[in-house]
Amino acid sequence: GKTTMLVINTIQKLSKAEGESTRALLIVESKEKMVEMVDLFQVYGKYTDLRVHIGSKRPRGKI
């Protein structure tokens, strides 16, 4: 679906790792979606040298 295409497109644009700086930041609405995206990056990015890091912050209130 849309998430898979986003992951594949991101991997294609980045091709391979360059240095230590962040080159893409994806913001998702839930922890479940974050886990899904990490899994997809691991599957489709298996033969690249890209690194995926995740972060999460629990919201304190409405924004």
Q: So where are the chain's domains? A: 1-63
Q: What is the pTM of this model?
A: 0.74
Tens digit of pLDDT per residue, the chain (63 long)?
899 999 999 998 887 777 777 888 888 888 899 999 999 999 999 998 888 888 877 666 665
H/E/C letters for each residue in 11-42? HHHHCCCCCCCCCCCCCCCCHHHHHHHHHHHH
Question: Given this model, what pLDDT does residue 54 score?
Answer: 85
